[in-house]
Amino acid sequence: MKPHKRHGRTGTAAPVRLRRFAGLVAMPLLCTALVCSTGSAPAAQPTTNTLVIHADRGTNTISRMIYGHFAEHLGRCIYEGIWVGPDSPIPNTRGIRTDVVAALKKIKVPVLRWPGGCFADEYHWKDGIGPRDTRPARINTHWGQVIENNHFGTHEFMDLCEQLGCEPYICGNVGSGTPQEMMEWIEYMTCGAESALANLRRQNGRIAPWRLRYFGIGNESWGCGGNMTPEYYADLYKQYATFVKDYRGNRIYRIACGANDFNYEWTEVLMKKAARHMQGLSLHYYTRTTMSWPPRGSATKFDEKEWFAVIRNALKMDELVTKHGEIMDKYDPQKRVGLIVDEWGTWYEPEPGTNPSFLYQQNTLRDAMVAGLTLNIFNKHCARVKMANIAQMVNVLQAVILTDKEKMIVTPTYHVFEMYTVHHDATLLPSELTCEDYTYGDEKIPGLSVSASRDGTGAIHVSICNFNPSRPAELRCIINGPKPKTVTGRVLTADTMTAHNTFEQPENVKPSAFNSAQVTPDGFVATLPPKSVVVLELK
């Protein structure tokens, strides 16, 4: 492999400035300029950074739903990735892969969104119930015009959620469906009375009603879900939401279709016209090498210029959550309506030799960095962000699992989700980070991302991303409140930026023990490796 070409480099060290973060937001601060290297030979010296954690404060809970997932009828996500059928030689439980379920249980998947995505607004739920050999075949017009046999439907999805021990989040069809169709689906799933639809569910093998908390009313109605204006969708949302009924023993959290990335007008209109009819409002944002469409760039063949670009664009999630949140605050200062980021992740060109409509891509250490910093951002905004769903669970976009027939591997992103389980339902601890920039050419971004929380046992967990691919980072942390007596940790890193797991080498990137942290009288110090995600536990 040829060495990566360096862009925008000189032989002299460049001055960088410190940035201070209340949690994660980059806020310029007057400070002393430091001299550093950004990756040029000779070996770079560590950056110097300071973190203050207010362990004596903290009132907001980081909902475990922030660590949710998304599975659409797209490519090999459902079929082959999750569903192989009960007659498959691949080990399964009622048709659902046992190896995939076992891996997902280790990351404590809290909620799973289904059946889409764009697919949701062409999905008619009655196609997916009853004997599988009599279910109608349809054309999946959004994703390659392949045949959808509907073998994975409502019963199979709910079975998957029960096997995982997670909450189902179903997205209803507004684009090509009707209020009656949506109303009947809710009754079929959640009604315990002796109604015709509840009895049809019993006839199909499910006696007791399911508990369904989360229901989305349409997907991307500004695009593939109908190309609507926000005013039109707001009225339509209120109509459909009226017919999403709460049956005895089940109360539904209704989620309206929210904005595509920077479309703040959509949020303004929806909150103004329909906020009192919703419990959640969605937001979609995909990280790409460039902001152009369609996404460009390889998932595995990139240099530092593209590494930097992806992390820079991933950091925009903080701006998006902040600005959409500010609009929501105008109409909902009590934060009754949750911001639901139900599609997020990296999006590159499909892997060469695969069906381009299937959106299959590999997953490198770079994607682990995006996962770590994005989850840190959601943690920081947990007073408003009540759920998030990475796209997608298996074999599509920033997947946590990849499969190839009977083989299965987990990705670097999977390991971040496993390491971050310590934040589930923990109390967010306010923090301020003063850190050096990571400079590439004429651009600068903050060099670190941090989140801190306290769990039910009193242990403090700190997740830290060091974006710089060639410079370690010295971090000094001051803890206000009870001081820790011990510190342990784990680190996810690799020798190269492009490192990833393959079916031949499934453990190229995996966590290991982190031993470069020590407690101090006022907190701790740590030396973070370049291009790393570190999670520390303080007791």
Q: Which residues does the annotation mark as catalytic?
A: 220, 343
Phi, psi of 163 (to 5 degrees): -65, -35
Q: Which pair of structure tokens corresponds to residue 437? A: 């920039």
Q: HEC string of 129-185?
A: CCCHHHCCCEEECCCCCEEECCCCCHHHHHHHHHHHCCEEEEEECCCCCCHHHHHHH
Three-class secondary structure of residue 452 per DSSP: strand
The answer to whether 283 and 320 have CB atoms below 8 angstroms apart is yes
Q: Which pair of structure tokens corresponds to residue 55? A: 């362990």
CA distances 356 to 74, 319, 393, Å, are 11, 31, 18
Q: Maximum Cα–Cα distance for the chain, whole Å? A: 78
DSSP letter at 282 equals E
Tell me the C-alpha distance between 499 and 118, whole Å. Answer: 31
Tell me the C-alpha distance between 194 and 185, whole Å. Answer: 15
The answer to whether 515 and 490 have CB atoms below 8 angstroms apart is no
**Helix residue ranges, H only, 341-482:** 365-380, 412-419
Tell me the C-alpha distance between 235 and 179, whole Å. Answer: 13
Tell me the C-alpha distance between 364 and 349, whole Å. Answer: 14
Three-class secondary structure of residue 444 per DSSP: strand
**Helix residue ranges, H only, 403-486:** 412-419
The answer to whether 252 and 337 have CB atoms below 8 angstroms apart is no
The answer to whether 62 and 454 have CB atoms below 8 angstroms apart is no
Per DSSP, the residues of 480-533 read: ESSPPS-EEEEEE--SSTT-B--SSSTTSS--EE---EEEETTEEEEEEPSSEE
Closest C-alpha to 278, from 328, 324, 319: 328
Question: Exposed, middle or buried, 354 (CB in 10 Å: 0-12/13-18/19+)?
Answer: middle
Tell me the C-alpha distance between 226 and 273, whole Å. Answer: 19
Per DSSP, the residues of 337-365 read: SEEEEEEEEE--PPPTTS-GGG-----BH
Tell me the C-alpha distance between 491 and 216, whole Å. Answer: 36
